[in-house]
Amino acid sequence: MSSEPTSPASPDPAASVPAPSHPASPIAMDALSTVLARIDDLDDPALQARLARRIDGKTKPLGALGAIEALAIRIGMIVGGTAPRLHAPQVVVFAADHGLARHRTSAYPSDVTVQMVRNFLDGGAAVSVLARQHGLALSVVDCGVRTAIAPRAGLIDRRIAAGTADALQGPAMSAEQCLRAIDNGIALAGALPGNVLLLGEMGIGNTSAAALLLARLTGWPIDDCVGRGTGLDDAGLAHKREILRQVMARDAAMTHDGADAAQGLPNDSSVRVLAALASLGGFEIATMVGTVLRAAADRRVIVVDGLITSVAVLVAEQLAPMVLQRCVFAHRSAEAAHGRLLAHWGVEPLLQLGLRLGEGSGAALAWPLIVSACRLLDEMASFDDAGVAGPA
């Protein structure tokens, strides 16, 4: 069997995740530099050829399984073998609040963040249902929710503060906060079991943070990066765009203290990326960046959900370009900027269902396709095995 999903009755993975023992910036920077150095190029023409021969030799016309064949090869390249086994898949939902949300950039109030975190943990959210259906372990990480949540099963406490600062007035995070969040994510990924990570997020206002980072890191106009998020009407969307234009102007005018903390990284572009993340991002996005980097270093399959998780991957990719080799993109969301980012990378997602929920729901919906790709590669008969004549 090519996949061994975690049973819903298995021990709570959140209970085994220790808190990082080193919140100080210099040590956090060392951890980041160490992880970046481990993210190497997975290009292996010999392995890719063996995988292609194996899938081509199955009892089917060449290419008849379409994108599932490419998916099987990609997973084999990540895991490093022609019979990849996926075990203990982890859905991790990163949650935090955003100071910028006070400017009504979302259709919902910030109180919804903590309410939804409780909903995840109670089993009532979409991703909770899907994780239960598919036997996926689900953890929720409090990276900086405005209202503290009492300890309970499934919750991982990695709070930096009660939400970020107002990015319209100044940097959303200090350099130290940003590095602590990344370090939290690195430690989290190192402690979770399995070789598959499915990314999810929750945070009222985080589509604004994602749009700001997307514009800053790609150079695209901010208006092209802003969408309706949780369902803004036309007036709300126009207001959101105006607020984010002002944030971009503030950001351009300021000296980023994140640059000072980024000394010692491999190149100057890392300084720029960390400065942008501190100025415009969120605690959940920064923590997710650290988790993606560590998962990439460990050669885990990283299943990417929608816009916000993709922007976290963008930040990670600009720090370590080979991160993208470890990613499977679950779906193309209804946010136009998400489709543009996927096209920028030249990647095709597995699904296009008009989703815009977040939470990791799209990643969980794509999970059966990932399992199927592995099982077909491993269990489907070849022409020789089945005694079936091949093509003439």
User: Distances in Å between the alpha carbon of 215 and those of 16, 156, 224, 249?
Assistant: 37, 31, 8, 12
Cα–Cα distance, 242 to 234 (Å, whole number): 12
Residues in the chain: 392
User: Distances in Å between the alpha carbon of 338 and those of 69, 305, 383?
Assistant: 24, 10, 41
Residue identified by tokens 């023992």 is: 21
What b/e readout covers 147-159, taking b as 16+ CB neighbours within 10 angstroms? Answer: eebeeeebbbbbb
Residue identified by tokens 């481990």 is: 38
Helix (H) or strand (E) holding 90, with range, is strand 90-96
Q: Which residues are catalytic?
A: 359
Cα–Cα distance, 184 to 333 (Å, whole number): 28
Contact 22, 104 (CB under 8 A): no
Cα–Cα distance, 306 to 312 (Å, whole number): 10
Residue identified by tokens 């399995």 is: 194
Q: CA end-to-end span of the chain, whole Å? A: 32
Cα–Cα distance, 291 to 19 (Å, whole number): 14
Contact 74, 328 (CB under 8 A): yes
Dig out the tokens for 141 from the structure.
């990480």
Contact 36, 182 (CB under 8 A): no
Identify the CA nearest to 363 among candidates 130, 69, 142, 129: 130
Phi, psi of 382 (to 5 degrees): -85, 170
- 3-state SS track over 264-324: CCCCHHHHHHHHHHHHHCCHHHHHHHHHHHHHHHCCCEEEECCHHHHHHHHHHHHHCHHHH
